[in-house]
Every structure is written in structure tokens, then in C-alpha cells.
Amino acid sequence: MNVRKHLSASGMFKMAYARFEKIKDIRAENQKVSLADALMSAFAMFSLKDPSMLAFEERRATDGNLKRVYGIKIIPCDTQMRTIADEVAPEELRGLYKDTFRQLQRGKVMEKLVFMEGCYLLSLDGTGYFSSNDVHCSSCLEKKSSQTGEIRYAHQMLGGAIVHPDYAAVVPFAPEAIIKQDGETKNDCERNAAKRFLENLRQDHPHLPLIVVEDGLSSNAPHIEELKKHGLRYILGAKEGDHKFLFDYVNKAQTTKFECEIEGTLHRFRFINQVSLNESNPELLVNFVEYWEIKGPKIQHFSWVTDFTVTSANVFQIMRGGRARWKIENETFNTLKNQGYHFEHNFGHGSKNLSVVFATLMMFAFLVDQIQLLSSDLFQSALEKVGSRIRFWEHVRSLFFTLDFDCMEDIFRSLLYGFRTQVVILGPP
């Protein structure tokens, strides 16, 4: 089985621990549990898909595999882990993602995810992962019920991932927390989080060629200008209800129409280049694509604005790029919430950064799994044999809890090929 050493799960674990060791520990010197051990323990909890902190605590009683597989020297108790991680600034974890992306480029894994004109598709969207009427911190978003006056506390994030229509796997970047910012009393919002995300993205990857794909809420002048400022291409959803001026103009203008039939499905397009986005921003010119997918009685309808000059030769590919934005919801957020990661479970909220730190580490655990899907024949074969992600990780946890292993790849091999246990029968004394 082909396993690229630096992209293997074990290689990723070593890289993560090395990155954790670079984060400055603001506690007093000579602490029993190091910052790196605390963060690696939290990551291990998410990597193994433990459903709760209690489940991880039970594992500490037989901690040999945690030390051998994840390289943890001293495993903290749940209180220690939460206390230490709460003090970590979330931006300190961005280096994890940057290091990982560098490894993916080194391993030429990213080459197959190039989509169009040498660019990758970057899908952006926001999601919530914590909500409570009682548990909260100073960073929580607050929503007051107009009927009862009750306050609902929440944490959200803006996620961004490289996607491709032909691959189920995605490559997420470090998420941007949607929380109350330091010194602010008003709630944060997705638009402000997007500005921070793009700034950080370009700081970490200044020359990465990207096409941003987003839903209809993103096709507004300020956001498009923000994308242009960072040298990003775009394919953005555009709904008629939000763009009356644009659609009125298109309906009256001379547009190009194009259609093709593939395997019983009719793909119908109309498009026009260099039209004003709206009446308030006539100088902002975009290119417009409208698309109908007709399969028997079922009709689906979509429309986008883009900075790509649209032609009959590339309109089909632009459509595929626009529709790929759903992968941030389906392959990323849905997987985190419903495929065994327990994204919406409160592993610990803390008073400072804990909730965001845990969410960022869980996303990184997801990234490591995605890399295995993209680069490890061993992981892919073991997953295929088991059949479902939830059952796969149940098997991993069961083996991890009952048998000794030196690395995660040995667990994958056991799932794929089976394993043997040796029974020693003692004779009479």
C-alpha cells in the first residue's frame, strides 16, 4: 500500500506536535503538563472522534496508545486540558494549516485539485457550532428573543476550503471565528469575518491562485471589491430577488444562449459579459451566467456573476465551479456535524478562547482525514472495507482502546487485513 510518509497520519501528528511546541506558553515555568501535550491531547480527542470529554478521560487509564501514536508525553486530565487551551490565542493555530498546505504542495497532492485556468476553487461559508441559553463567555454572540427577552448565546465560524467538483475530499484553511471582538459590544458578522479571513489567507498564501465560490449573499459590491483587492477570482451566486436591476437589464439585453445534452440531462445556458452589478454601483461590471438543468420533469435553476469572460467554451466549467460551493456545506460542515466528529457538542466552553481553540483543532483533525482520503491508499481501502465513516471511527476507537499500536497506520492495516492475537497457555508450575 502506498503511504507517503510526510502526508501519513503519523507524519501529520509529528508535524502538529512540532507546531504546538513553537507556541509560547504564557504560564509559569516548570509546568508538569506542557502546552504542546495539552493541545496534542485535545487534537487526539478530535482525531479519534471521541463523543465527549468524558470518553477521552476514560481513555487516559490506558494511555499507552496516546503516547505512542500521538507522541504525547504527559496526558492532562480534562480540567488541565481546558485550562491550558483556554489561554491559547486561536491565531497561534493558523501555522498548523500553513505547514500542512506546504506539505500538500510538496507531495504534489494539490495538482489534481486545480480546477480552471490554473486556479483552485475556494468555497466560503459560515456555520454555527455552539448555542446555549446558559453557558457563555465574553466572546459569545448574543441574540435576545423579542417575545421572551431571553438571551441565546452562540459561536459561529467562517470556513473556507479548496474544493473540486470531481473529488469528495476538500482541503480546509484555518477557520475564522465569528465572535465578539476584543473591546466590542456589538455582535460580529460573517461579512467582517470574511474580511479577516481573506487578509489572513493572503498573508499565509500571497500568490495562491484562487477562485472564490459563494452563495447569493456574497454578490454585493463591497465584497466583490474585497475579493479584487486580494487578487481573487470569483463565481458568486446571484438571485433575482436580490438583483432586480441586474436581471431586468439581462432580460432586455441581447444574451448568448447555449445548450448541450449529456447522458439524458439537458444543460441550458444564457450569458452576457460586462454588465453593471446594480444601479448603485454602475461602474462595477460583472459577467452573468444563468443555467437550467433539465432531467425529465425535474428542472433546477441557478445564476451567478463572475469575473471570467464567459464563452460557449467555458460556460459549462463555470457552472460546475459555481455549483461546487455546496461542498463547503455538504462535504465539510455536514461531515463535521453528522459523520462522527461531534462538531456541535460542547467539549468545553471556557472563559476566553477555549471554544474557538477546540473548534479549530477539530477542523484540523478533519483536514488530516481529508489528506488521507486524497493521498493514502491504505486509509482509502480500509474506509471502503468498513463502509461508513461513523462505523470506521468506531472500529478505530475500539482497537485503540483494547490493543497496543505503534502508529495510526497499524490500526488502518488491522482494519483492512485483520489482526492476530497470541494466546500464551501457561503450563503447570
Output the pLDDT for position 423: 47
In a domain, 75, yes or no: yes
Residue 429 has pLDDT above 70, yes or no: no
Q: Residue 421 — very low, low, confident or very high, per pLDDT cuts 50/70/90? A: low
Q: Residue 309 has which C-alpha cell? A: 469572460
What tens digit of pLDDT does each residue of 208-257 get?
999 999 999 999 999 999 999 999 999 999 999 999 999 999 999 999 99
**CA dist., res. 367 & res. 175, Å (int):** 11
Look at residue 387 and give its three-state secondary structure. coil
Whether 154 is in a domain gets the answer no
Q: Is residue 391 part of a domain?
A: yes
Residue of 302, 357, 420, 292 whose CA lies nearest to 93: 357
122: which residues sit within 8 A by CB, 6+ positions away?
Answer: 160, 161, 162, 163, 173, 210, 211, 212, 213, 232
Provide the pLDDT for residue 59. Answer: 79
pLDDT at 186: 83
Range of the domain at 395: 1-108+347-429
Query: How confident is the model over 368-382, as a mean pLDDT?
Result: 95
45 in a structural domain:
yes
Residues 399-416, mean pLDDT to the nearest whole number: 94
Q: What is the mean pLDDT of residues 36-44?
A: 97
- Please, which pLDDT band fits residue 191 given cuts at 50, 70 and 90? very high
Q: Judge whether 49 lies within some domain.
A: yes
Tell me whether residue 98 is in a domain.
yes
Mean model confidence pLDDT for the chain: 93
Radius of gyration of the chain (CA): 24
Banded pLDDT at 138 (limits 50, 70, 90)? confident
> Is 409 a domain residue?
yes
- Of 341 and 183, the one with more pLDDT: 341
Q: Is residue 422 part of a domain?
A: yes
What's the rounded mean pLDDT across residues 326-338?
93
Tally of domains within the chain: 1
Confidence bin at 425 (pLDDT 50/70/90): low
